[in-house]
Amino acid sequence: MSHPVRRALRIVIGAETYPPDVNGAARFAQRLSEGLAGRGHDVHVVCPSTEGRASTEVVDGVTVHRLRSHRTPFHDSFRICLPWRASKDVDALLAELQPDLVHVQAHFVVGRMLVRGAAAREVPVVATNHFMPENLFGHARVPGWLRSAASRWAWRDLGRVFGAASVVTAPTPRAVELLHANGFSKRAVPVSCGIDIERYRQHKAPASIGGGRTVLFVGRLDEEKRVDELLRALALLPPGVRAEIIGDGSCRQEWTALAGRLGIADRVAFHGFVAEEDLLAAYARCDVFCMPGIAELQSLATMEAMAAGKPVVAADAMALPHLVRPGRNGWLYQPGDVQALADRLAQVLGDQATLDRMSAGSREIIAAHQVEGTLDMFESLYLRAMGEAPVEAGVAA
C-alpha cells in the first residue's frame, strides 16, 4: 500500500505510558510516533512524566510533552496524572497546538482528557485499545470475588470514553471481538501494532549463556503473565535447559523464590529491565520463546521473538493463536497445564531440524506485521476520521 496521506498533519498522540517505560503499549506508542514523524508529520506525544515534573523535549523527531504525575501504590514504574491538573494541562496544549487529529492509546486519565478536549474543539479522534481488566487486577490487588463486577464496570467505562472517537482500533481480530463482546459498537477494526522486522532479523546470535538450550520470556512480571508456569515446566525438563527472564514487576520476588524452591535457581536468570541492545542479544541467543500470559491482545514481545526467527510456545489464550501456528512456528498449550507446556518445549528443543523449520515459520508469519503497513493503515484511518477519504473494506484486517 502506498502512503495514503499526501500532506503533513499535526497529530497529538495520547499515551498513559511511554519510554523509558518498558512495556508493549509504550513501545507501540513510540514506534507509531517516530514512524509518523519519519513520514513528515508533526507529531506530539502527551504522556505522564516519569519523574513527576512537567517537561517538553524533542526525541527522534517527536515532541514529547510530559505532564505532572504521581507514583501509585500499585506498581513501581506506573505513574498517574491527577485528573483536574491533567484536564487543564491538556486543554492548554490543545489550544496551543491546534492539531488536525488526536490519537489516544488508552482511556485512563491522559486519554480521557484528550478525548474530551478534542471533542470540545471538534478535532477528530482515533482511539486504540491495548486494555484488558486482567492487566490491572494484579496491580490493584482486586480480590477474586470482585473481579467480575470490576471487569464489567471497566469495559463500560472504556465504551463511554472511546464512544466519542470517530475510529476505534485494536491490535488483532480477537482483540476487536473482545470489544464487541463487551458492548462496544461494531465499528472497531483490527490494526496490527506492527514491528520493525529488520531490526531483530539482522542482530547476530551470540553464544547462549552457560551452554545448552535456552528458553526466553520477555515482559512484565505480573500475575497475568503466569511466568510461574514456565518455571514449573522448566523443572520438568532436562538440566541442560535453562531460562532467561527479562522484565520486572510485582511478582518478581515471588517467582525468584519459586525457582529456588523448585531447585532450578541455577538454571534461571532474572535480568530485570535491560537496555535495547541487551534485549536484541537475548532474542538472538535464545532457542525458543515462551509466552504463558493469558491477557495478550497481541504480544509485542512474541512478535519481536518471531522477527528474530525464534519458535514460540505460548498459552492458547486471547490473541496468541493469531501468531502461533501449531506445528509450523511453535505450539500452543492450555493455560495451567504445566506438563503440556514442558512437553511442548521439549518437542521444539528436541532436535535442530525442528528448531530450524519453526524458525523459518516464525519469519514467514511475522512478515505480515511489518510496521510500514501499520503506518499506512493509520494514515488511511486518520483521513477517514477527518472526513477526507474512506478505508478500503478488509484492509484493516
> In 10 A of CB 4, how many CB atoms?
20
Q: Which amino acid is at 24?
A: G
pLDDT at 322: 94
Average pLDDT on 313-317 reads 97
The cell numbers describing 202, all together, are 539482522
Question: What confidence tens digit (pLDDT) does each residue in 333-350 have?
Answer: 999 999 999 999 999 999
CA distance 345 to 332: 10
Q: Which residue has the higher pLDDT, 330 or 7?
A: 330
| Three-state SS at 41 | coil
> In 10 A of CB 327, how many CB atoms?
12
Average pLDDT on 216-232 reads 95
Q: Is the pLDDT of residue 209 over 60?
A: no
The cell numbers describing 98, all together, are 491546534
Q: Which amino acid is at 380?
A: S
pLDDT at 312: 98
> What distances in angstroms separate CA 3 from CA 222, 319, 374, 378, one per listed residue?
39, 28, 11, 10
Q: Is the pLDDT of residue 140 over 80?
A: no
pLDDT at 80: 86
Q: Would you tell me the crossing angle of helices 109-120 and 144-162 to the nearest 10 degrees?
A: 20
pLDDT at 205: 61
Which architecture, in CATH terms, is 10-194+370-385?
Answer: 3-Layer(aba) Sandwich (3.40)
CA distance 43 to 61: 8
Q: Which residue has the higher pLDDT, 172 or 393?
A: 172
- Sheet order of strands, 42-48 included: 55-59, 62-67, 42-48, 10-14, 101-104, 125-128, 167-170, 189-190
Q: Is the pLDDT of residue 150 over 80?
A: no
| Three-state SS at 270 | strand
Q: How confident is the model at residue 68 (pLDDT cuts 50, 70, 90)?
A: very high
pLDDT at 76: 61
Q: Are 11 and 41 in contact (CB under 8 A)?
A: yes
β-bridge pairing 213-218 and 288-291: parallel
Q: How many CA atoms lie within 13 A of 36 on its CB side?
A: 28
What is the total residue count of the chain? 397
Q: Are 378 and 103 in contact (CB under 8 A)?
A: yes
Question: What confidence tens digit (pLDDT) does each residue in 289-299 have?
Answer: 999 999 999 99
Following DSSP, what letter does each residue of 82-143 receive, concatenated? Answer: -HHHHHHHHHHHHHHH--SEEEES-SSHHHHHHHHHHHHTT--EEEE----THHHHHHHT--
Q: Is the pLDDT of residue 196 over 50?
A: yes
β-bridge pairing 70-71 and 79-80: antiparallel
**Most confident of the following: 126-135, 137-146, 172-181:** 172-181
CA distance 115 to 136: 22
Average pLDDT on 213-236 reads 96
> Is the omega angle on the peptide bond into residue 83 within 30 degrees of 0, that is, cis?
no
Q: For the chain, which residues make up each domain, given as ranges?
A: 10-194+370-385, 197-368
Is-same-fold flag (10-194+370-385; 197-368)? yes
Q: Cβ neighbours of residue 309 under 8 Å, at least 6 residues apart?
A: 201, 359, 360, 362, 363
Q: How confident is the model at residue 279 (pLDDT cuts 50, 70, 90)?
A: very high
pLDDT at 265: 98
Least confident stretch, 1-10, 169-178, 195-204, 228-237: 1-10
Domain 197-368, classified CATH 3.40.50.150, yes or no? no
> In 10 A of CB 355, how many CB atoms?
18
What is the pTM assigned to this prediction? 0.86
Average pLDDT on 359-367 reads 97
